[in-house]
């Protein structure tokens, strides 16, 4: 297994706040691309750090910013206590998230070592929505969203399908067919908005998987779906980043 260099860095955000981010990169060879890794609602926890490490092992300079830094810096939630994360989710504002992702993207660009090295983004759950948001405001080369709640309109908000026409790069979307949080009406609305906007996308629905199927620390973990999603994600990124 490849040796990694991991560390925490502190980023300056345009609104005057500071934000910690977890960084992983290959120790023996230069990274060939940058990757923004966006957290679930449970913070930049052991699972998200592990995912960040996994991408570093295949050659990325990977950075996972703490998106709850305004309300709970260092927060790591417990998977069976969703109520504890709700105040932090409710406090999120798209304008603040845009500032956070711009600061994260700038850090990657400054630390990749070459201006031509590409940057992509990936996110899980609420981070899947942030990946879609990033694709709409920054020149990433590829974006991946795992069960991104809030991309389509839902009872908690209006969604962001009005941004579909602004996407800079192909978007890969993963959904769980058993996901009661994100129903087919939402997943179909996302696909229809991207199709109408003429944007390239890949829509993958694992019929026997639930919300959070990629996370091996959650009861909903689906090993087969997770293994296939990992392979598809790497193929998608390799194709569009040219690596």
DSSP secondary structure string for all residues of 92-121 = --HHHHHHHHHHHHHHHHHHSSSTTS-EEE
DSSP secondary structure string for all residues of 40-88 = BTTBS-HHHHHHHHHHHHTTEEEEEE-TTHHHHTT-B--TT-GGGTHHH
% of the chain with per-residue pLDDT over 70: 98
- pLDDT, mean of residues 183-203: 98
The closest alpha carbon to 199, from 135, 107, 153, belongs to: 135
Residue 125 annotated among the catalytic residues of the structure: yes
Residue 143 pLDDT > 80, yes or no? yes
Per-residue model confidence as pLDDT tens digits over 147-161:
999 999 999 899 999
Q: How far apart are CA 183 and CA 191, in angstroms?
A: 13
Q: For residue 2, what pLDDT band results from cuts at 50, 70 and 90?
A: low
Residue 223 pLDDT > 90, yes or no? yes
Q: How far apart are CA 172 and CA 203, in angstroms?
A: 6
pLDDT confidence of residue 113: 79
pLDDT confidence of residue 114: 78
Structural contact between residues 6 and 75, judged by C-beta atoms closer than 8 angstroms: no
Residue 180 pLDDT > 70, yes or no? yes
The closest alpha carbon to 61, from 80, 81, 35, belongs to: 35
pLDDT confidence of residue 1: 58
Residue 179 annotated among the catalytic residues of the structure: yes
The closest alpha carbon to 152, from 144, 143, 163, 141, belongs to: 163
Residue 29 pLDDT > 70, yes or no? no
Q: For residue 201, what pLDDT band results from cuts at 50, 70 and 90?
A: very high
For the chain, domains (ranges, CATH) are 4-241 (3.40.50.1820)
Catalytic residue from among 47, 88, 211, 240: 211
Please state the pTM of the whole predicted model: 0.97
Residue 30 pLDDT > 80, yes or no? no
- pLDDT, mean of residues 130-153: 98
Per-residue model confidence as pLDDT tens digits over 66-119:
999 999 999 999 999 999 999 999 999 999 999 999 999 999 999 997 778 999
Catalytic residue from among 32, 53, 100, 179: 179
């Amino acid at each position: 297994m490849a040796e990694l260099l991991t560390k925490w860095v502190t980023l300056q955000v345009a609104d005057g706040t500071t934000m910690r981010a977890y960084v992983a990169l290959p120790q023996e060879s230069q990274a060939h691309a940058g990757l923004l890794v966006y957290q679930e609602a449970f913070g930049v926890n052991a699972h998200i750090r592990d995912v960040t490490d996994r991408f570093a092992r295949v050659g990325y300079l990977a950075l996972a910013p703490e998106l709850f830094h305004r309300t709970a810096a260092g927060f790591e939630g417990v998977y069976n206590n969703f109520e504890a994360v709700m105040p932090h989710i409710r406090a999120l504002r798209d304008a603040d998230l845009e500032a956070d992702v711009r600061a994260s993207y700038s850090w990657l660009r400054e630390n990749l070592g070459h201006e031509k090295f590409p940057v992509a983004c990936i996110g899980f759950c609420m981070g899947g929505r942030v990946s879609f948001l990033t694709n709409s405001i920054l020149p990433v080369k590829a974006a991946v969203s795992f069960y991104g709640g809030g991309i389509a309109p839902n009872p908690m908000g209006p969604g962001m399908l009005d941004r579909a026409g602004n996407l800079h790069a192909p978007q890969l979307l993963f959904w769980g067919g058993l996901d009661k949080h994100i129903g087919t009406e939402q997943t179909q609305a996302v696909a229809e908005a991207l199709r109408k906007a003429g944007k390239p996308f890949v829509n993958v629905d694992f019929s026997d998987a639930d919300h959070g199927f990629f996370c091996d620390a959650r009861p909903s973990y689906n090993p087969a779906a997770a293994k296939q999603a990992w392979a598809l994600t790497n193929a998608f990124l390799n194709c569009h980043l040219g690596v």
